[in-house]
Homo-oligomer: A and B are copies of this chain.
């Protein structure tokens, strides 16, 4: 895919912290396509710049930059955390001051793909809120979206529903709109404690994929016609 046509220029900058991994590039491309200025964050500037450059080339655009995680967090209105789950708490402690006054979207599912099982409480989102304190609005979302599905056909709607958990409903609403901009249906599913269940769904989806010989099992909601 090259030379995509970005119609609606957005003003809010989105940082994808740990954006050089599996999940980050798909989200970055979907939001870049929706017109958002994007910063790929990484522990290493060079790695961030390299991935940003690759994604720009892939989309035929120049609105994706690469920075170190702390600079990325400072320059963005909304940061999305997509680091490996073992780095979750360490990265957050490091970025506490850089995220102050902003929204942090936590996409962490603390599930080991080699030994998938439901994580123990508290949820990753609750852990993040505890670390970051009340100056940051934590929203848990995007924990279950299969990375390879996210990256493929970024202009197409995703056949999966995003469950959005947050203590602050206004912040949740911002993330629901962000998901919609990335061609994903998203629904508010309660406070940050509920995010534990969304993390745990990852273990079930791994079991389902294995049992049915697929790679794309996803969760959806029904019964919401209102």
A residues sitting closer than 8 Å to B (CB atoms) are 116-118, 120-121, 146, 149, 159-160, 163, 165, 187-191, 193-194, 196-198, 200-201, 203-204, 206-208, 211-214, 216-226
Q: How far is the CA of A50 from the CA of B225 in the complex (A)?
A: 36
Q: A122 — nearest CB in chain B belongs to which residue?
A: B118
Q: Is the CB of B217 within 8 A of A220?
A: no
Q: Is the CB of B163 within 8 A of A194?
A: no
Contact residues in B for A146 (Cβ distance below 8 Å): 223
Q: Which of B149, B194, B207, B226 is in CB contact (< 8 Å) with A190?
A: B207
Q: Is the CB of B207 within 8 A of A188?
A: yes
Q: Is the CB of A223 within 8 A of B189?
A: no
Q: How far is the CA of A116 from the CA of B197 in the complex (A)?
A: 12
Given known contacts A163-B204, A190-B203, A204-B189, A219 and B219 CB-to-CB distance under 8 angstroms: yes
Q: How far is the CA of A160 from the CA of B218 in the complex (A)?
A: 14
Contact residues in B for A201 (Cβ distance below 8 Å): 197, 201
Given known contacts A204-B163, A219-B219, A222-B160, A212 and B194 CB-to-CB distance under 8 angstroms: no
